[in-house]
């Protein structure tokens, strides 16, 4: 297991990762590959979404990033289509 980056300052006592997914973004002349993290805090019983930037991702996260983006995009499209019917 890779040690957590000290640059990830949003981690708090009571946090539990419930899901993580890749969702890239780009525009003219720029691009980013953030890893989005759904976090539940057991102390305040609240959910929030946090972000891990590419420079703070582990090698293993990078290996799974493309597959995660593909699955996330497909699942989002399927759910959207289902809800619009």
∠ CA 31-24-45, rounded to 5°: 130
Alpha-carbon distance of 74 to 1, in angstroms, equals: 29
Asked if 35 contacts 20 with a C-beta cutoff of 8 angstroms, the reply is: yes
For residue 33, tell me if it sits in a domain.
Answer: yes
pLDDT higher than threshold 50 for residue 1: no
Q: Please state the domain count of the chain.
A: 1
Q: What is the pLDDT of residue 9?
A: 85
Q: What is the pLDDT of residue 85?
A: 82
For residue 39, tell me if it sits in a domain.
Answer: yes
For residue 67, tell me if it sits in a domain.
Answer: yes
For residue 30, tell me if it sits in a domain.
Answer: yes
Higher pLDDT, 6 or 83: 83
pLDDT higher than threshold 70 for residue 3: no
pLDDT higher than threshold 60 for residue 2: no
**Domain extent for 70:** 15-84
For residue 1, tell me if it sits in a domain.
Answer: no
């Amino acid at each position: 297991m890779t040690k957590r980056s000290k640059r990830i300052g949003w981690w708090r006592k009571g946090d539990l990762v419930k899901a993580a997914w890749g969702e890239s973004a780009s525009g003219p002349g720029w691009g980013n590959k953030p890893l989005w993290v759904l976090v539940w805090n057991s102390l305040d019983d609240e959910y929030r979404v946090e972000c891990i930037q590419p420079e703070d991702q582990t090698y293993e996260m990078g290996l799974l990033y493309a597959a995660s983006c593909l699955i996330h995009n497909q699942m989002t499209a399927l759910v959207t289509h289902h809800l619009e019917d």
